[in-house]
Amino acid sequence: MKISIFEDYDQLSIHVAEALLKVVLEKPDAVLCLATGETPIGTYAQVVEQARVGEVDFSKVRFVALDEWVGVPPENSGSCHFFLHKHLFEPLSINPKQVYLFDGMAKNIENECRLMDDHIAKLGGIDFMIVGIGMNGHIGFNEPGIPEDRYAHVVDLDEMTQSVGQKYFEQETILKQGITLGMQHLMEAKSVMVIANGSKKSAIVAQAIEAPISTQLPASLLRKHRDSMFFIDAAAASRLSKIKP
């Protein structure tokens, strides 16, 4: 596992974007899985800017979802669907055929998981993932305690995830369940980058990197991945005991 620490959020965003653009330059039809949330907003703005100046062609890239809130429709601005369209797919003029996301409103939500598993298998697996880390160490909606051999699944959200998740919504929203790729998808992806910024993430980042690897801390499992990276800013790195920014 590689750890890179950047001076601040802007530098972090620039370097994460650079890594993503490199993947697409090397493999124009790469399969990407990109997180939603506050952390990657700066990265996606950088990516859109680079694409505008014509540096990288996204017309063949395939995108798959990481996660979604169950019961939240795509037109709700707090949904992962809405976020990805707003920050990436619309500004990059991505063809809907290039995108496969979870439907949080699906009547048969278990079937929605199997459809995603089949879709990723048909694409030949995921080339590159950018994931955030939840305040409880979750990745996607892989909450503490989830077995590491899961593919896509539906999960009852932790109380912390339910309350922290309110920040994405304009009004208070019931967030009881999530649908997510599983840790097995993450372990099988060719390359996974975990990103984090700000002092509020420093304690969980320190645990993910330095505490014993455990399913109680899903982010720590990525230390077993053959090509995983933690890209974090100095504030998020401030509680690491072994590495000083």
Active site residues: 67, 136, 138, 143
For residue 226, give both structure tokens: 């053959």
Tell me the window of 22-30, 50-58, 134-142, 224-232 that interacts with ligand GLP (CB under 6 A).
134-142
137 binds ligand GLP (CB under 6 A): no
39 binds ligand GLP (CB under 6 A): yes
Amino acid identity of residue 89, one-letter, is: F
SS3 12: helix
**Closer by beta carbon to ligand GLP, 33 or else 61:** 33
37 binds ligand GLP (CB under 6 A): yes
66 binds ligand GLP (CB under 6 A): yes
Asked whether the CA dihedral 39, 43, 78, 71 is positive or negative, the reply is negative
**Closer by beta carbon to ligand GLP, 38 or else 110:** 38
**Closer by beta carbon to ligand GLP, 56 or else 204:** 204
Mask 69-98, x = binds ligand GLP (CB under 6 A)? ------------------------------
104 binds ligand GLP (CB under 6 A): no
Asked whether the CA dihedral 105, 116, 155, 197 is positive or negative, the reply is negative
Mask 157-186, x = binds ligand GLP (CB under 6 A)? ----x---x---------------------
Classify burial at 1, counting beta carbons within 10 Å of its beta carbon; exposed 0-12, middle 13-18, buried 19 or more.
Answer: middle
**Closer by beta carbon to ligand GLP, 38 or else 49:** 38
**Closer by beta carbon to ligand GLP, 37 or else 104:** 37
Q: Closest by alpha carbon to 51, among 98, 93, 99, 96? A: 93
How far is residue 112's CA from residue 152's CA, in Å, rounded to a whole number?
Answer: 9
How far is residue 97's CA from residue 83's CA, in Å, rounded to a whole number?
Answer: 18
Instruction: Tell me the CA end-to-end span of the chain in Å, nearest whole number.
Output: 17
Question: Nearest approach, Cβ of 164 to ligand GLP (angstroms)?
Answer: 7
Continuous H helices in 40-190: 41-52, 80-84, 109-123, 159-164, 183-188
Tell me the window of 14-22, 52-60, 130-138, 184-192 that interacts with ligand GLP (CB under 6 A).
130-138
For residue 68, give both structure tokens: 């979604």
Question: Nearest approach, Cβ of 165 to ligand GLP (angstroms)?
Answer: 6
Continuous H helices in 53-108: 80-84
Instruction: Please report, as ranges, the residues that interact with ligand GLP according to CB under 6 A.
Output: 35-39, 66-67, 131-132, 134, 140-141, 161, 165
